């Protein structure tokens, strides 16, 4: 198996295809997810990201009228899915590693497990606030920022674990990816502050960057230009999600704090149903991909959200 950085080098300048998948809800069958991945093997993805979902807090009424707070994890199985992808498809999995919901020691143990499984790629993220809360709060002895987590992974790569030991520690060999936001993380004070945090992650050991979804390529190009001017030289993958319903015209900007181009808005508003809107989303994303590929991006990274039909249509036009 290989690292993401190896796959980029082996592509010799050719744009590669990759996807992100989400674990099924607890109790659902893994077969549906694997069946959705299967047809995408046509495009030879060298790696597949697998998201990690932190705990959620649920309030359940009791017979006596009291409310019991339950902590649950609705989408467990990230490591198991990574192993399934590795063995079924022979594709390198990239598990997400979060600050949220983990102590530093739990993170180290998680990374050790990945290392034992031969998984050499991780995407390091702060993660979202635990539902139903709006504010991110780290676990006691956990991290508040992804840059801190990047540093821990980079230290393990140097054989530096959290606690001293009386024997030499074997270094891990993780390729570290991090996230970036061409249109600014919604919690950042301003673009400059957000950008400084990204540079910190790279300076502490990130090997590549994957962006949040966007629908205006110019925002991505401006972002890359700013990165290069600041001395950030690592590969930058554009993250893409084709619009698939009329409702997403309002939902995606609200959830992901991004802008929709006016031409896309007009095209979707002219649609009579979601079938038409989905086709508009495919055509828009194809044009994005053609322009991005022409610009020489290292790869096109698709957020599939568990579905593959529209990504297949797009990939067949590009790869």
Distances (CA, A) of 191 to 76, 150, 194: 34, 21, 5
Cα 303-26-38 angle, rounded to 5 deg: 45
Structure tokens at 121: 């790629």
Q: Which of 130, 218, 234, 146 is nearest to 188 (CA)?
A: 146
Distances (CA, A) of 18 to 7, 33, 98, 309: 11, 15, 21, 15
Find the length of the chain. 319
What is the structure's pLDDT at 26?
92
Extract the residue ranges of the chain whose pLDDT is less than 70.
none
How far is the first Cα of the chain from the last one, in angstroms, to the nearest whole number? 22
Q: Tell me which of 20, 108, 148, 151 is the catalytic residue.
A: 20
Is there a catalytic annotation at residue 20?
Answer: yes
d(CA 305, CA 20): 8
Cβ–Cβ < 8 Å for 100, 127 = yes
pTM greater than 0.85 = yes
> Phi then psi for 48, rounded to 5 degrees?
-135, 125
Q: Which of 305, 302, 303, 306 is nearest to 317 (CA)?
A: 302
Q: Which of 297, 96, 66, 117 is nearest to 177 (CA)?
A: 96
What is the structure's pLDDT at 60?
82
């Amino acid at each position: 198996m290989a690292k993401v950085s190896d796959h980029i080098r082996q592509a010799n300048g050719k744009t590669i295809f990759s996807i992100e998948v989400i674990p099924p809800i607890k109790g659902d069958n893994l077969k549906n997810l694997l069946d959705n991945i299967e047809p995408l093997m046509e495009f030879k993805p060298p790696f597949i990201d697998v998201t990690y979902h932190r705990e959620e807090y649920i309030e359940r009424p009791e017979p006596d009228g009291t409310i019991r707070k339950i902590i649950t994890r609705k989408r467990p199985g990230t490591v198991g899915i990574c192993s399934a992808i590795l063995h079924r498809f022979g594709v390198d999995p990239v598990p997400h590693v979060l600050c949220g919901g983990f102590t530093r020691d739990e993170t180290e143990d998680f990374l050790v497990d990945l290392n034992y499984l031969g998984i050499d790629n991780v995407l390091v993220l702060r993660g979202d606030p635990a539902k139903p809360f709006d504010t991110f709060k780290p676990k006691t002895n956990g991290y508040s920022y992804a840059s801190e987590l990047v540093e821990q992974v980079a230290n393990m790569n140097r054989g530096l674990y959290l606690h001293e030991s009386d024997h030499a520690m074997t270094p891990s060999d993780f390729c570290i990816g991090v996230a970036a936001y061409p249109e600014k993380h919604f919690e950042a004070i301003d673009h400059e502050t957000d950008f400084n945090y990204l540079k910190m992650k790279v300076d502490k050991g990130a090997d590549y960057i994957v962006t949040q979804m966007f629908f205006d390529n110019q925002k991505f190009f401006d972002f890359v230009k700013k990165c290069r001017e600041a001395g950030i030289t690592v590969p930058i993958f554009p993250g893409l999600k084709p619009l698939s319903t009329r409702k997403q015209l309002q939902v995606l900007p609200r959830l992901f704090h991004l802008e929709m181009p006016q031409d896309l808005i007009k095209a979707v508003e002219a649609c009579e149903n979601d079938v038409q809107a989905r086709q508009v989303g495919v055509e828009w994303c194809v044009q994005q991909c053609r322009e991005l590929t022409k610009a020489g991006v290292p790869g096109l990274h698709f957020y599939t959200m568990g579905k593959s039909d529209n990504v297949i249509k797009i990939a067949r036009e590009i790869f």
